[in-house]
Structure 1
């Protein structure tokens, strides 16, 4: 029985060592699993944050692009409207009564004669007879001759006899000057 007791003792000792090793292994495995799960959760959270950032970035880009398209459409509509106002203004100035046209043309000729004493006066076909009459009636315009009609909505263009100097007193020129200086004000009034 002595041998059997020794064998049992060795077996018992072996079994205890196996249980100890198994317990240590289980503990190590659990620690490894917990560590792996922690790492996986960190990786998942990091990936989710990156995905959220990417989604936010894409949404912001799309919103910016959409805003830009809308602004461009609004600006194009505003430009179209302002162009229509400009054209209507130019047409309205050209359609003013003959009495106004005569006074305006006389005033423009008086202004031009201060800069060009002798020259050729051009006007549109509608105003050419009026300009010819003004030139023939007032002595101060004796240095002027009537030139060929030009394509302007109204007003005059005076050119020196030598062709070196030209003054554009067409209505379009005046409207352009007013338009440029008043464009911001007009835009503010119309679109705010």
Structure 2
């Protein structure tokens, strides 16, 4: 064997080895590319799912927020209607006149009188527009006198001068009690719940 043959064999071996290394490199590069593509697809899919979850969560939050806002607006509208109804009732109480006003005021005064048995002097207060009516009504009771005005829709506030008893039998206080006791029924009738 000549040196040329040996050199040629070494070259052939080197070429074969280089070819193996190149093929291994290409296979490894393909594996890396495939792995990268798979990872990229998985990452893309994960990002899509995350974005879809986030969109769904934001949609649910927006929907929940809109429902809450609508409920609050509905409650506020109901509250406004109830306030209007109460205001109308108050206006009607102020507008009461004649025999009806006298009957109601007398009943409220009589109810308060029982609290002041044995008192020598009792002061009765009421709405300024009811002064004449109250003076006529207190004349029926010994020791009772009309003492001046009280800011109310009507009725009486009665105080004993010898005791610290004060009875508030105004239309306002009666309306407050009736309103609180019947608010649920009024609301149901107004809003057909």
Normalized against structure 1, the TM-score is what?
0.86
SS of equivalent residue, structure 2 residue 22: helix
Contact kept in structure 1, 2:159 and 2:167, CA below 8 Å: yes
Shift of 1:53: 2.5
Q: 1:140-179, aligned counterparts within 5 Å?
A: 141-162=141-162, 164-179=164-179
Give the Å deviation of 1:99: 1.0
1:43-122 counterparts in 2 under 5 A?
A: 43-117=43-117, 118=119, 119-122=122-125
Question: Within the alignment, does 1:134 sit opposite 2:142 as a pair?
Answer: no
Offset at residue 163 of structure 1 (A)? 5.9
Measured in 1, the distance between the counterparts of 2:187 and 2:102 equals 32
Query: Secondary structure of the residue that 2:158 maps to in structure 1?
Result: strand
* Matched residue SS, 1:148: strand
Q: Distance in 2 between matches of 1:2 and 1:190?
A: 117
Contact preservation (8 Å) 2:153, 2:172: yes
Distance 1:163 1:79, change over 3 A: farther
User: In the alignment, what sits opposite 1:124?
Assistant: 127
| Structure 1 segments unaligned to the other structure (5+ residues) | none
Superimposed CA distance per residue, residues 158-182 of structure 1 (whole angstroms, 9 cap, x where no aligned partner):
1111361111111111111111122
**How many residues are treated as equivalent by the alignment?**
189
Deviations 1:2-48 (A, max 9, x none): 44444443333322222222221111111111111222222222222
> C-alpha root-mean-square deviation of aligned residues, in Å?
2.1
- Partners of 2:65 and 2:166 in 1: how far apart? 48
Deviation string 1:130-169 (CA, Å, 9 cap, x unpaired) is 2222222x3xx21311110222111111111136111111
> Under a length normalisation based on structure 2, what TM-score does the superposition of the two structures give?
0.86
